[in-house]
Amino acid sequence: MHIYTLPSLSSKQGENDQRDMKKLLLLLVLAATVTSGTTARGQQNAGPAKWTYESKKAGNGEYKLIFHLNLDKGWHIWSLNPGGDGFQIIPSFTMDRSTTITQKGKVVEQGKTTTTTMEGIDGKVTYLSGKVDYTMTVVAKQPGRVTGKHTFQICDDRQCLAPTDLNFSFDLK
């Protein structure tokens, strides 16, 4: 077994070796950052939340962008209209600007909803659990790609995880 030790800073070669090691570490961190970007193709896992994506042509240049969410048992996501005291972080879906593709209407949610009171929250709140679908309708002047990000927060009966941002990309054909 070989253990690499950094030379002392007093030698010129040691300074060069340390500078090279720092450059290598920076390069590795940058490579990890660049390759960790996600798109909406395939599946994205964010802890107890598993996302898959689908686009369906609806006709007349309209497409349905469907964000499928499968939550692990015991976890939930706030409804787009959660009620409560206004401190719930609701899912949001934001398209990047495009001159050929526009959003039509609001995002629609579908899934098993629960409306109840919760300790520490004023008023009744609504959340979804299990399998949840969010549908965004877009109008495309021509086939293209829709990109953007969606933000969400999931909770269980003891905690809410920090909000998560995921990038998405849908090819409209």
Instruction: Report pLDDT digits (tens) over 64-110.
Output: 999 999 999 999 999 999 998 988 999 999 999 999 999 999 999 99
Total tally of structural domains belonging to the chain? 2
54 with 19, same domain? no
| Mean confidence (pLDDT) of the chain | 82
Rounded average pLDDT over 52-56: 95
65 with 50, same domain? yes
133 with 77, same domain? yes
Name the DSSP class of 90. Answer: -
15 with 52, same domain? no
47 with 97, same domain? yes
How are beta strands 124-140 and 76-83 bridged, if at all? Answer: antiparallel
Q: Which domain CATH number covers 109?
A: 2.60.40
User: Taking Cα atoms as reference points, which of 122, 111, 128, 114 lies closest to residue 75?
Assistant: 128
Rounded average pLDDT over 41-54: 76
pLDDT in the model for residue 106: 97
22 with 79, same domain? no
83 with 163, same domain? yes
22 with 67, same domain? no
Find the domain containing 6 and state its range.
Answer: 1-36
154 with 120, same domain? yes
31 with 50, same domain? no
110 with 71, same domain? yes
More confident: 13 or 172: 172
Report field, pTM of the whole predicted structure over 0.75? no
- Is the pLDDT at 5 greater than 80, yes or no? no
How are beta strands 49-59 and 92-95 bridged, if at all? Answer: unpaired
77 with 149, same domain? yes
